[in-house]
Each structure stands twice: as structure tokens, then as C-alpha cells.
Structure 1
Amino acid sequence: MQETIKVHVIKYPDRDNLMMRYRCPDSGKHIARSTRATNQRKAEREAAKWEAELREGRYQKPSRMTWQDFRREFERDVLDGLKESTAQAYEATLNVFERKARPGKLAEVTTTKLTAFVTMLRDDGRTPATIARHLRTLKLAMRWASRQGLLRVLPQFDMPKQAKGMRGRPITLEEFERMLAAAPQWDFYLRGLWTSGLRLSESLALRWDNAPEALVVDLEGRRPMLRIPAESEKGNTHRTLPMAPEFAQLLATVPAAQRKGFVFHPVNKLGEPMARTRHAVGPRVADWGEGRRCGRPAARRRR
């Protein structure tokens, strides 16, 4: 029936560009799209190209699979068969991408959206190494989706180049354990950062209860989740994100009676609460990171 398809150029009164449309042989409905041209001759050339694609079966509609449906399939078919630590790494990256890029459908994962995602990560102060790690993980996930026929167009992944002399590699488990030994009063918080995949600003906003601009812990359902209340979202839409199992296990160590307010409470050397900003907390974490090789906090820089 594809040989009967004929694409016509038409003018809609409310559009500047000429449109092209055809009647679907199967449904009998008219299907239209823009020619992106105001010139009749150019529009007819676009219509001829589309007609050829339709007749030869080369044209494919964008996938209607939602991002959440993709995540469920990916978890079931891929993550469930991986080591727990590897699965957690995938989930952490997908969570970050979901919070920043907010894809509604899988087909929205395009080169343009990935470029915007990288820009947002840079604006958040993420290192080139961290950005590259997220992109590598996303690339593997999108390749799987493409092989399954879920993603029709595989986006381009441009890895950030690391400047000479820049130290951006992730810390090893041994180095992390040295950081814990150097800062025992921050043990719970550092473990939370290690297992959750949250960035500093997100971890400082994490709460046990609802509040504006907060991520909320939800341990009540079948699976632990991070919940974003509707009042905290510009679109006034309630969203939930799966939580890494190791992070859920850490949170479960907190007695139920203490699950109020903020989840993490960073303190200074005197044990006093610190300002809940990445500018206040970040340098302390960085100092311990810089001193990780000798197993003690690095000396604070004089300003």
C-alpha cells in the first residue's frame, strides 16, 4: 500500500512555512509536517523527498517511549544482571541526567540536549573527569537503547578535554577510606556523597520531610526513592527517582525518631553547624581530598 502514498504541498493560514501532508493508507488520517520553506519550489522538493522515504519504508516516526519506561526496561534487562556497584553507577548517572535535562521521552536524548547537559554540569562546578564519566555511562545506555530499536537516532557524545596538569580522576576506595579516617565527624555525610551520586548542593538540600527546593527521602514504598514534591518543581509536577541500594542501606541506619529535617548536618572543627552551601562545605571536602594520599586532612590555605 505504500506505493499509493502521495505527499501534497499545502498552505495553512496560520503558518508562515508551507506544509506537506499525505493520507495514511492504513488509518485514512491526514499526516502533516512542515517543509520549513516558504518557496513553492523548495517545498515541493521537500515533499518529494518525504514521499520517497514513505514509499520506500525509510521514514520512521520518532519513538514514543517515555524516559521512565526506558529506565524500567533498562533496569530489568541490563542493570539486574550487573554487579551492584556497576548498577549503582548507571543509576547515579541516569538520575543526574534526569534531574538536569528532564527528558519526557527517550527520543529527546539528542546531541543538542547532551550539549546543554554538559553545560549545566560545568556551571555546577563538575570536573571534566566527572562529566566524562557521566557521558560514558550515558553513551553505553543509549547504545543499548539503539540496539533494542528503542532509540532511532543515536546522539553524538563529545567528551570534554582535560587541561594539562588538571587533576580530575575519581578517588579510589582506599583513598576514600583514608578520607573517612581523616574526618570521622563527617563519616555519615562522606558515605552519603559516595553512595548517592548526589552533588554537594543536592546533598545539602536532601530532607526527610517536604520543603520547598528540597529532595526528599522516601523509604516507605517497595523501593527506596528520592522524591521531588510538586511545589518544588517549576512545572508543578511530582517526580520520583530511584535510589541506589547502597545509599538506601546507609539511610536505614538512621533511627526512625531522628528522621526529621535535613538528612546531612556538616559541622566545623568545633562541632558547630556549617552554612548549607557548596561554597562553605565544598572546600572542606576538597581539603580532605587533597590530603588523601597521606591519610590526613590537607592544611587549610590562607586567603
Structure 2
Amino acid sequence: MRAWLFQDSRQKSKLGDKCPWSVGWYDPDGKKRSKRVGSKSLAEKHQRKIEGQLAAGTYSATERTTWKSFREEYDRRIVAGMPAGSREQRLVALKHFERIVRPAKLTAIKTQTIDDYIAARRLERGRKQGSTVSPACINKELRELRAVINMAKDWEYLAKSPKFHFVLEQHREPTFVPAEHFAAIYDACDAARLPANLPYPAADWWRALLTFTYMTGWRVGEPMSLQRSELDLDAGKATLRAQNNKGRRGEVVPLHPVVVEHLRTIASFEPTVFPWYYNRRSLWSEFLRIQEAAGINLPCLGDHVHTPSCYVYGFHDLRRAFATANAATLAADELQRLMRHRCFATTQKYVSMAARVNAAVDKLVVPARLQKVAT
């Protein structure tokens, strides 16, 4: 395995003795490579380096891999197959990273690069007027970026991944929607304006979605992507596709009769169970409108959507409500299965001396407001 020195004949004829020297070699895959170095002494030094790497088997051709080419490959192999919600979060994080860092070569991304990104990002304007981007938001983006960079390492484009120094966050206790607040929000669904132009009122759509999320523990993106063909109301079951949930596990999920009854009120010929032909931000805005009508005004205790004067619940608080309400009546493994947690330690957060029971779905806690609807 040898490398050689050469000068380009056309450059030699133009520049004479000032023509730069280059090094040529064949990589382990048999592909011819070359690099223009400059002076002959530097070229000889680079020649010895390449020959040493080829002889020791440590040669790597990744130094020339650009961020652009990696992104094209990553988008094609990974991003294209991600669920819509996860794909959106990953692309947003990459957009901010590329806007601030402007990466060129993949190997130029070091720990210092990540720290520079954090330093710049934490000074940018947040959603609320006069605020900056929150530590929780930055850490969320860092987790997305770490997954991308780790994939570059797995593909052997990087010898090692840079370290990610996460921003210190103020500890907040996870919050959930208690039954009395759920009842208030449920009754205030008449304030909803969207979705419009459907064969049923927007209030029915929202009551069905809130009940579905509260009584199944599904993440909001999962019912929003549920197809009519994946729902069997007569059997009381819904098919959750692997590509549409964070746990990447497909399964047939039994539904509580209260959920089924609400789903019957929004039966239509739309391809999805919960049609929403607007952007995702409009979904949150409409949820905010409903909670304002319900008089929800919370102190800053959790990860909520904020307004200038108050904090309100997010959709994930409905999922936490499902776990909290049923942790005492469902066995830990049943709760983990229903919530589709990958790690049992996550489920353990909601379990306090839970007694083992058998029929999980039939024993789900039904809020008093939904019991009135069922009767």
C-alpha cells in the first residue's frame, strides 16, 4: 500500500516550479484518491501519513464527507421513515443547528461546535415577548441533534461523537389534568371554532379527541393519525401502526365503551378519524381557546403552553392524567403496555404500590363527567 507524489501537468505548464505538489493513493476499496498539498516537503509528509494509515488499517475517507451530503443521506434513510410528529421535531432542530452553525465538513463538528450552538441559541428570542429560548427547548433540540450525530458515528463518518453539555433546567413536577378540570374543559368545548365544515359540530370533535386521549393515554399525534380503516367501532378496537407511535410498536388496542360512544358522534367519510386540515399550531390555539372558556388558570408548575397571563394544560397532561388515575388500579406491566413505554422506569413514575388486576381496559377509571355522558 503506497502513495505517490505528482504535479498536475497543466498547472506545471502554467506555474513552472511554483506548481503545488499533490499526493495520490488507492483507498482500501480500490478507489483512486488524491489531495493537493502545496510544497514538496509537506506533500512528502502527507504521503508518509497516508502510507502509515493504509499499512496500519486505520485509514478513513470520511474527512471529505460534507454535512450537506450526510444530510441528504440521513433524510433519505432515516427522516423519510419517521412518524410525522417526530420527523417535524427532528427537522426543526436541524434547521436551527444549520442556521446558527452553518456546518461544512462533518468532521469539523466538535464538542466546541455544540457548545457554540448552545451559547448562541440561549440568547435568541423565545415565544413570549421579552423572553429567550427556554432551557427545556434547547435540551429538546440537543437530544434530536445527538441522535443525528450518533447516526453519523454509526455509519463511520465520525471517529467519535462530540459531547453534549445539556443546559441546566429548573426542576418541575409533572402535571396532569385532574377530573374536575377535565369536566370543565369538556363542557367548554362549545367555544371551539375549528375544525369547520364537517358534518358534525367542532365541539363534538373536541370532546371525542379529549375523551380518547384521556381514556387511552395515547400521545396526541397518535389519534390524529388514526385512519378510519384502522378503527372498528363494533368490536371496540383501534389498530395503532408502528410508524405512527413513538414506541415503534404496532398493536390492536381495545377501547373503552365511553371512547367508542364519543367516536360514533364524529362518524364521517373522511379518511382520518380526527380530520384536521390546518397547521399543528392551530390545534394548540384552539385547545387554548377552550381552556380559556373553561376558566383554567394555572400557576407555573409544569411544561404548559403559556399565555401572557396564565398557564394552561398541554395535550401530554391528558396522557399523564391517564397514567396517574389508573396507576393504583392497574398492574405495572399492564400500565406499561397501555402507555407503550419502552422503559419500565418511565412507568414506575406513575405507579405507587399498584395492585395486580386482570382485565385492564374494563377497569379504567371513568371521570364523573364521562359517566354522565355514558348514561
The TM-score with structure 1 as length reference comes to: 0.43
For the pair shown, the structure with the greater C-alpha radius of gyration is: 2
Q: Give the TM-score of the pair, scaled to structure 2.
A: 0.37
Q: Hey, which of these two has a bigger chunk of helix by percent?
A: 2
